[in-house]
Amino acid sequence: MREEFPILHEIVYLDSAATTQKPTSVIKSIEQAYKRSANVHRSAHRLARENTASFEDARNTVASFIGCNREEVVFTSGTTHGINLIAQTIPLTPKSIIICSELEHHANFVIWQQRAKQVGCTIKYIRVKNNGLDYEHAKELISQGCSVLAITHLSNVTGAVTDVTLLSSLVKKQGGLVIVDGAQAVAHLPVNVHDLGIDAYAFGAHKLYGPTGIGALFIRSSLAKTLPPFLYGGEMIEHVSVTETTFAQPPSRFEAGTPAIVQSIGFKAAIDWFTKNYSHSREQEIYAYVKKMLSTLPKIRIFTHPTSIACLSFVIEGVHVDDICAFLDSQNIAIRSGHHCTQPLHTSLGIPSSLRVSLGIYSTKEDIDACFLALQEAIQVLS
């Protein structure tokens, strides 16, 4: 399977949480699609009909991948767009209470913080405990009232997995909505949005071996039907006159303008490829290995939670994270340094930034060995 990623001959890539490499089958599907360009849902000629069928087929694939109906899948440009869409369209009033957490990526933090300011409502943040959510605090906050819970499924820093089913059952008792940021989880966990008992789930294709520029937002159909459009324009209407416009049913209502047609074909190819090739147990073995190896390094502080999978972060006392990252880069090893778009989490951990190793489907123990040896050398040279 690694032959599908020629770049892996050149570098050790341990930054898949930022974006994954794309297999040749996905790249080929994109190339083929560009050679047969035609817009969708408009013209009646053959090429347009074929592209419309491929676009809608991609929607079917996404729907079965996350366990929902095709009408419940809205194509977006990615996770960030999906969360903005749902945050701007659900009904909120000054009396609403939004609950978010300190574990969130800025895409699921800043959006809700700013939305709360816009509406003039309350927003509360679940604290972090042991590098995951503080569930006691979550229960306490939710029991005081919750209109919306916006929560990550899998932390992009500590790899902690959220017990979404537990939290959604608590929020439902309060009559609230549950919106989940699935950007990281879809590439590492089986996801069934109806089993999770949630109202919306956002993710993108590019962390799932697919193209950039496309993602999907699941919106529970009974909710979607009640929501207003997010963006206006072509394709999202039912009827337009000089005095009035009526809007299409979901998902079209939320898909104004020409969609990411080629990317949708690449998205489908990526899901098909991923479903065939992914092994959770293999990934878990490599994850246990990286944790074990890194824990033997001197002066290291590792941030993981008992539920963690797929990625972890760490700091080395006395050495700047950027210097370590640059040192590894000089040996063609790609890991991430910085705050990983999670400044509130880093503040609660008491550090400005960290290093992150994140796994992809192509990661091997040899990659971890190379990273470990380079880190050992970096510590010697830089401290």
Ligand X SMILES: Cc1ncc(COP(=O)(O)O)c(C=O)c1O
Residue 186, token pair as written in the block: 């879809």
**In the bound complex, what is the minimum distance in angstroms from residue 59's beta carbon to ligand X?**
19
Beta strands 215-219 and 200-204, pairing class? antiparallel
To the query of whether residue 325 is one of the catalytic residues in this protein, the response is: no
> Binding ligand X by CB under 6 A: which of 21, 54, 108, 354?
108
> Binding ligand X by CB under 6 A: which of 80, 162, 304, 358?
80
- Number of residues in contact with ligand X under rule CB under 6 A: 14
Identity of residue 242: V
- Using the rule CB under 6 A, give the single segment among 35-43, 177-185, 239-247, 257-265 that binds ligand X: 177-185
Rounded Cα distance, 30 and 24, in Å: 10
Name the nearest CA neighbour of 323 among 367, 368, 353, 292: 353
Residues present in the chain in total: 383
210: contact with ligand X by CB under 6 A: no
107: contact with ligand X by CB under 6 A: yes
Interacting positions 254-313 with ligand X (CB under 6 A): none
DSSP string, 311-350: EEEEEETTS-HHHHHHHHHHTTEE-EEE-TT-HHHHHHHT
Interacting positions 124-153 with ligand X (CB under 6 A): 152
- Using the rule CB under 6 A, give the single segment among 78-86, 171-179, 305-313, 321-329 that binds ligand X: 78-86
Rounded Cα distance, 60 and 63, in Å: 5
Omega within 30 of 0 (cis) for the link into 229: no
**In the bound complex, what is the minimum distance in angstroms from residue 189's beta carbon to ligand X?**
13
Catalytic residue (choose from 146, 325, 341, 371): 341
315: contact with ligand X by CB under 6 A: no
Beta strands 132-133 and 336-338, pairing class? unpaired
Between 30 and 110, CB nearer to ligand X: 110
> Binding ligand X by CB under 6 A: which of 54, 68, 78, 141?
78
Phi, psi of 225 (to 5 degrees): -60, -25
Interacting positions 7-36 with ligand X (CB under 6 A): 17
- Using the rule CB under 6 A, give the single segment among 101-109, 115-123, 220-228, 247-255 that binds ligand X: 101-109
363: contact with ligand X by CB under 6 A: no
Note whether 119 and 98 are within 8 A (CB).
no
**In the bound complex, what is the minimum distance in angstroms from residue 153's beta carbon to ligand X?**
8
Name the nearest CA neighbour of 87 among 95, 160, 212, 96: 96
- Using the rule CB under 6 A, give the single segment among 37-45, 47-55, 105-113, 130-138 that binds ligand X: 105-113
- Using the rule CB under 6 A, give the single segment among 179-187, 228-236, 254-262, 302-310 that binds ligand X: 179-187
79: contact with ligand X by CB under 6 A: yes
Note whether 2 and 13 are within 8 A (CB).
no
> Binding ligand X by CB under 6 A: which of 21, 156, 308, 353?
156
Between 176 and 211, CB nearer to ligand X: 211
Note whether 36 and 51 are within 8 A (CB).
yes
Residues 6+ apart with CB under 8 A from 209: 20, 21, 22, 23, 26, 187, 270, 273, 274, 361
Rounded Cα distance, 292 and 208, in Å: 26
> Binding ligand X by CB under 6 A: which of 181, 255, 283, 367?
181
Please, what's the largest Cα pairwise distance for the chain? Answer: 72
**In the bound complex, what is the minimum distance in angstroms from residue 216's beta carbon to ligand X?**
12
Between 89 and 342, CB nearer to ligand X: 342
Kindly list the distances between the CA atom of residue 147 and the CA atoms of 105, 127, 175, 178, 193, in Å, as whole numbers in the listed order. Answer: 21, 18, 7, 9, 19
**Annotated catalytic sites, by residue?**
341
Q: Which chain residues interact with ligand X by CB under 6 A?
A: 17, 78-80, 105, 107-108, 152, 156, 181, 183-184, 204, 341
